[in-house]
Amino acid sequence: MTADDRPGAGIVWSRVEEGFYVASARGAFLGYIDREADGTYWAYNGRSRPVGRFPGLVAAMAAVTHAYTQATAAAAPEIELRQVRDAFPGSGVLS
């Protein structure tokens, strides 16, 4: 298995706020995850349709990734890591 064959390669997860995560690949929105009060995670695809409820974050991320790859049947893009600069220096937001 090469790096490009790994499930989820090229997908970037961002924590928007505590318990809410969104996935993208090369600027395309793939789906999101929302943590419930009971600690479980609801995963949704890029059209905001439920993918399932999961006991852990990693399982929910895998489900969104799987839903994306199944929907597109495309080869997974390569992994890209970038550091994002603080858009509002001095705003009190830690980066």
- As a three-state string, the secondary structure of 6-38 is CCCCCCEEEEEECCEEEEEECCEEEEEEEECCC
At residue 80, does pLDDT exceed 80? no
**Total residues found in the chain within this entry:** 95
For residue range 36-55, list pLDDT tens digits in order: 999 999 999 999 999 999 99
Q: What angle do CA 12, 27, 70 make, to 5 degrees?
A: 70
For the entire predicted model, the pTM comes to 0.67
